[in-house]
């Protein structure tokens, strides 16, 4: 569903006969970009203006693609849904404006699961995103490579970065939608602390979970983009206020007992035992253990920890996110918001409920409809106590688990709740996913929905707690596909999380 192409840079030659990793494919633009996208389907809109020549700004000559659920006034924002077909926002999201003010070029909009709901990027009106990665020992051309998922819901952002369509990409993460695609595609993906990056101008899925984050090929590029975006925005009611940000930075600095440039003595890394479930692919564990062994050899302390409430996180997440989605998406009726879809002949158009029902049934895909129904049910009087309230209780337990193991206190807690933990860990490290990128399921595969939900099992706890988490490449599985590791920190310790990610990136030679 491309509408335009941008011209101006080098043409990728001999792509069809090239066998290489996605990270080895050169950055693209111009006439080759549209051709490449037919094999990836990462972009749903490509900017038509030329790449500007700028200088002296933090993101000068830096191209950034933007997920299709983040508002842009110069490009459509469809959330990959028929309900918002060709919608163009009258304003830019705060994060888009900050990028432009920082010198970045907004190169296009990236494909995603409809309204951000999905783990495999299968649920898009634009079609699925195809992972651009190809194992080095593959015997077929890149265009004929195995069709595997790029992850969801931000698969388009991850694939665009991996294949070199942009320097970085904005995405959103509700329960793992940045970290899972980053792991599958072999790139870096950061979900910041909830409230540190503005959500104003982002189409809501689940307000208490949604975060705008960043994908790039290196931690350095992620950090460079984060530094531009991590500012207070008074238009965002969920934004952390400046005094809270300052206090979090002070606590982080007070507990930073390690040096990035020398031995890692003083750095304590927690390894949560619950993040290695029995159904995890054993070949995922090996690259993670190699990273831990490398960090230990350089002086870091590896500390086993337990987060017992993790077992309830996935169920709680789907209840909370679905209830919030059912409320947020209630506005799309085809009359005031969303695309109006004419009902079939014979429909009594004086019955507004029938008109609404037809527009919503035709405008929303099956996965969105499923989550709206689940969320609506969980909020009914009969189910509220057993589902929604229980999920909120689990969320509180998960936050308490994290607070118990970190040495840095959570500044969002009341003063009376903050207790010093001199033996706590600085960050947690665990696999980003339970397996490498799965094959794209066929439309007749009845089991792929449940399998897709399970993919989020390692990412949702940090989302429920609102904590910063970053996925970085850690090597490859037995099948030759990328394996990612996630580093999770206390709220407000985004810089610490990126520090450790950069250390892992530096020492990872696999």
Contact 185/437 with Cβ under 8 angstroms?
yes
Q: Count CB neighbours of 481 within 10 A.
A: 22
**How many H-runs (helices) and E-runs (strands) does the chain carry?**
14, 11
Coil, strand or helix at 244? helix
**Phi/psi of residue 2, each to 5°?**
-75, 145
What is the pairing mode between strands 482-489 and 63-67?
unpaired
> Rounded CA gap, 489 and 408, in Å?
9
> Rounded CA gap, 211 and 173, in Å?
5
Which of 366, 293, 290, 321 has its CA nearest to residue 124? 366
Contacts of 146 (CB under 8 A, 6+ apart): 134, 138, 439
Helix (H) / strand (E) containing 158: helix 155-163
Which entry of 29, 63, 177, 198 is annotated as an active-site residue? 177
396 is catalytic: no
89 is catalytic: no
Which of 313, 321, 292, 293 has its CA nearest to residue 431? 292
> Rg of the chain's alpha carbons, rounded to an integer?
22
Contact 225/215 with Cβ under 8 angstroms?
no
97 is catalytic: no
Contact 317/456 with Cβ under 8 angstroms?
yes
Task: Spell out a b/e string for 373-382, using b for 16 or more CB atoms within 10 Å of the CB, else e.
Answer: ebbbbbbeee
Which entry of 29, 81, 107, 153 is annotated as an active-site residue? 153
Which entry of 63, 67, 124, 322 is annotated as an active-site residue? 67
Coil, strand or helix at 331? helix
Coil, strand or helix at 314? helix
Instruction: Say which residue the tokens 């307000």 belong to.
Output: 207
End-to-end CA distance of the chain: 37
**Positions marked active-site:** 67, 153, 177
């Amino acid at each position: 569903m491309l509408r335009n192409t941008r011209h101006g840079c080098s043409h990728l030659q001999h792509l069809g006969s090239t066998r290489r990793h996605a990270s080895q494919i050169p950055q693209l633009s111009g006439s080759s970009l549209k051709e490449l996208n037919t094999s990836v389907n990462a972009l749903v809109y490509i900017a038509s203006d030329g790449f500007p020549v700028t200088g002296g700004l933090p993101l000068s000559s830096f191209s950034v693609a933007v997920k299709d659920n983040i508002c842009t006034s110069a490009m459509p924002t469809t959330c990959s849904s028929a309900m918002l077909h060709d919608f163009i926002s009258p304003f830019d999201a705060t994060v888009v404006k900050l990028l432009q003010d920082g010198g970045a070029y907004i190169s296009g909009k990236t494909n995603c699961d409809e309204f951000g709901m999905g783990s495999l990027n299968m649920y898009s009106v634009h079609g699925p995103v195809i992972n651009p990665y190809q194992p080095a020992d593959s015997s077929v051309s890149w265009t004929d490579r195995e069709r595997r998922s790029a992850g969801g819901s931000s698969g388009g952002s991850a694939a665009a970065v991996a294949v070199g369509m942009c320097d970085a990409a904005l995405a959103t993460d509700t329960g793992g939608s940045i970290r899972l695609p980053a792991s599958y595609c072999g790139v870096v993906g950061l979900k910041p602390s909830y409230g540190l990056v503005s959500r104003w101008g982002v189409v809501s899925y689940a307000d208490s979970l949604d975060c705008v984050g960043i994908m790039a090929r290196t931690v350095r590029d992620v950090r460079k983009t984060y530094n531009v975006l991590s500012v207070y925005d008074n238009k965002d009611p969920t934004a952390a206020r400046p005094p809270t940000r300052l206090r979090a930075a002070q606590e982080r600095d007070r507990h930073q007992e390690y040096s990035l440039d020398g031995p890692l003595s003083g750095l304590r890394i927690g390894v949560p035992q619950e993040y290695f479930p029995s159904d995890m692919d054993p070949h995922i564990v090996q690259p993670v253990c190699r990273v831990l062994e490398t960090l230990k050899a350089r002086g870091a302390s590896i500390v086993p920890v337990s987060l017992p409430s993790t077992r309830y996180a996935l169920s709680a997440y789907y209840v909370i996110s679905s209830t919030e989605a059912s409320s947020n998406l209630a506005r799309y009726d085809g009359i005031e918001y969303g695309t109006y879809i004419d009902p079939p002949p014979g429909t009594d158009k004086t019955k507004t409920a029938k008109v609404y029902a037809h527009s919503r049934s035709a405008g929303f895909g099956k996965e969105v409809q499923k989550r709206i129904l689940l969320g609506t049910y969980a909020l009914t009087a009969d189910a509220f106590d057993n589902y929604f309230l229980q999920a909120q209780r689990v969320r509180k337990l998960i936050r308490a688990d994290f607070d118990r193991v970190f040495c840095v206190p959570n500044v969002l807690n009341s003063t009376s709740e903050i207790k010093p933990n001199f033996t706590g860990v600085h960050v947690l490290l665990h696999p980003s996913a339970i397996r490498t990128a799965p094959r794209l399921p066929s439309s007749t595969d009845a089991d792929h929905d449940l399998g897709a939900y399970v993919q989020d099992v390692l990412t949702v706890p940090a989302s429920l707690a609102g904590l910063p988490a970053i996925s970085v490449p850690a090597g490859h599985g037995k099948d030759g596909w990328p394996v990612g590791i996630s580093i999770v920190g206390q709220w407000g310790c985004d810089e610490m999380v990126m520090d450790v990610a950069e250390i892992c990136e530096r020492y990872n030679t696999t």
